[in-house]
Structure 1
Amino acid sequence: MRQIGLGDLAHLIGTLLRDPLLGDLWVEAEVSAFSASPAGHWYITLKEGDITMRANCWKGVNQRLKRPTVGAIVQVHGRVDFYGARGEVQLIVDDIRDVGVGFAQAELERLMTQYAAMAKHRPLPAIPQRIGVVTSRTGAAYQDVLTTLTQRYPCVEVLLAHSPVQGPDAPTGIEAALEALYTEPLDIILVVRGGGSIEDLAAFNNEIVARAMLRSPIPIISGVGHETDTTLADMVADVRAATPTAAAVKATPSRAELLQHLGNLRYTIDYHIANRCAEADMRLDDSAARLRRAAPAQRIAGYQQNLNYVNQKLNQAMQQRLTMMQAHVDRVSDRLTALDPQAVLARGYAIVRDSAGNIIRSTQASHPQQTIHIQLADGQIDATVTSTQ
């Protein structure tokens, strides 16, 4: 039995694969994965049934070619090569032609359209207290989520529901993990997995997982694969994130942002309080000024001054009125005095009456031998008329 080293074996395989028949081939297959390196090279995974093969298209060649899309059926031209460092047979591609969309991709697109219409797109809670995570406990996705949550919002409680995220048992495992979380008092659920080929993400394109996510009583964020990957789980999630890290970011507020927001709120509150206090001080000063201008003591003093003035005027008017009335009384008194019979008698006049007391005003009212009474100022004289003239 011949014994050779591994390097010699790789060289032997490479030599055998340099057959002219394998140096000029057209191969038809479905593109199941695609990536471009920073240098510009294309790395393609071709698939037919359960068979996959890597294909490389270098930058100097692909600049004149149309970039293939995942799920498309293509014809690639090139040669078979053996990559000894990984022990892989691969195609070195120099031409790519579109043939159409593969059956699997067409069916997946149909399901995505169907299930996208069922998505609820519920709003996420602003301040979650408990977050559930569906993923593998040994995967990098779970560690990425924990690291991001610790940095952004360390006070949140995380509950992991472990499930395989790849392989034939993954769809039912993810379903069981989701159902277990539905019984817990949670605010959000993250369904996450790291990147991979379309075959690696197949569980998240399964209807079992999609229907289980639609039964969720709380919002779900999906973070499956890389930014370029879109799965059926993304279509039914309330919010889609490009990666597991992005899902953790969407689920929680940033501690720094919260502190900044609280600082802004404090500044706003202080600003409004200061403004309100300044406005209150201005109103108080204005009210005090008006109170001073309209103070009761000053108003009473004003009223008292007016009252004194009116009282003085009233006294003057009353005094004038009394003087005028006294002068009138004096004039009337003088007139009455002047007309008083006693006063007339005091000036030497007399009143003559007959025996009946009637005043004799004319000689014709008298006759001889008539008894008369003569009233003087100081008394009365009785006499008899001897003659009249």
Structure 2
Amino acid sequence: MTQTAIPYLFMRGGTSRGPYFKRADLPEDPETLAQVLIGVLGSGHPLNIDGIGGGAAVTTKVAMLSPSDDAWADVDYFFAQVSVEDRQVDFKPTCGNILSGVGPAALEMGLLAPTGDLTEVKIRAVNTGARVLARVQTPGGVLSYDGDTEIAGVPGTGAPVALNFMGVVGSSTGAFLPTGNLRDNFDGIEVTCMDVAMPMVIARAADFGLSGHESAAELDANRGFFARMEALRLKAGAAMGMGDVSTSVTPKFGLLAPARAGGTIACRYFMPWNAHPSMAVTGAQCLASCALTPGSVADGLLERPAQGPADMVLEHASGMIEVLVDYDMAEGFTLKSAGLLRTARKLADGRVFVPSRIWQGP
């Protein structure tokens, strides 16, 4: 055989999609694993023509699942972001949209069994150590993808997957404010560097001469903005203790602006070299936390609720996303948990193939 077959599920999770694997079905060695994932997705071509990627960062994501040895968790979720064109794999971040499919995928894979009409799946995101409780619809003990829940960026409706994120403050850098400051100034632009679920550099859209309501396509066409943003991101990443981030997708970048469509605040999220067509689940938690934090760059852009929990509605490039943030203001902003509602759907299952020269199998 000149190709190696690997069992997989192909799933949409939130507004992303990609292959879901059992970790045991993939190579242990990180370098070989990266080459296998590059081969699976077809990284190295703008259309991912020789793989199952979709030619966009939201369609070149990978979930790898295994039974957890954590006393709290049922399932370990190991995430990989595969680049579209430059054959790189980043194992540092996690992805909350892909995480939306982890509970259903774990049930599909037999990693745990349904426990009634609603099954709780305790997930450890091994990239960051975050703990997430997913509530999956299993009426009559049968996994269901059908329902009336809509999420912006996905056509139609589906069964709700409720996610409650815990222990996400400082999950990558060890600190809520990795630079130690509520605001920093790089290249004449004020930013808030924050680590809640995802390390981010957050600025006001107006400081770049933007409204914050541009479409993803309009932002992607503004290469002058991307050049300024990337130079700033590199300096901020170093200041956050993350070293040289020139080849890493973290920290991510975000823009804030006053809401226009009835939401709490307007946001744009970057992956970071393209505008996200909607919003990342992890990014939504960080942006909502920034919006709620007095003294951050969000000051003056919204009316903050007096106390938590707060239902934050973020306007993004495809619509809105709601984040229920439970927090305490007794000693400054202290995040307790953040909850979101997503949907997921199994698109295909079977075996995906990579050339045996890359890996000959377990």
> What band does the TM-score fall into relative to the shorter chain?
under 0.3
Higher strand proportion (structure 1 or 2): 2
More helix by share: 1
Give the TM-score taking structure 2 as reference length.
0.23
Which structure has more relative contact order (CA 8 Å, sep 6+)? It is: 2
